[in-house]
């Protein structure tokens, strides 16, 4: 499982964010995990927030 492999390389924040998403896989937790990973990988630490990247989906009926 990738989660166990990432424990070797990812920061503590990323590990716990992914863990939270796996245990509670909501759209909001997915976006939080993406932002946490971007902060870990990027020099631009705060260039996105949840409001900017969240999709506004219309209900499908």
Structure token digits, residue 59: 């209900």
What is the reported pTM?
0.69
Residues counted in the chain: 61
For residue 45, is it within any domain? yes
| Integer Cα distance of 61 and 53 in angstroms | 24
Give pLDDT tens digits for 11-60.
999 999 999 999 999 999 999 999 899 888 876 666 667 677 777 777 65
In terms of residue numbers, what domain contains 47? 2-53
| Structural domains of the chain, count | 1
CB-neighbour burial class of residue 36 (10 A; exposed 0-12, middle 13-18, buried 19+): buried
Kindly state whether residue 11 falls inside one of the protein's structural domains.
yes
Is position 37 within any domain?
yes
Residue 59 lies in a domain: no
């Amino acid at each position: 499982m990738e989660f166990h492999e990432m424990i070797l390389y990812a920061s503590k924040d990323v590990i716990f964010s992914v863990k939270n998403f796996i245990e509670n896989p909501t759209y909001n937790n997915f976006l939080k995990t993406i932002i946490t990973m971007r902060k870990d990988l990027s020099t631009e630490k705060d260039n996105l927030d949840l409001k900017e990247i969240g999709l506004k989906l219309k209900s499908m009926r």
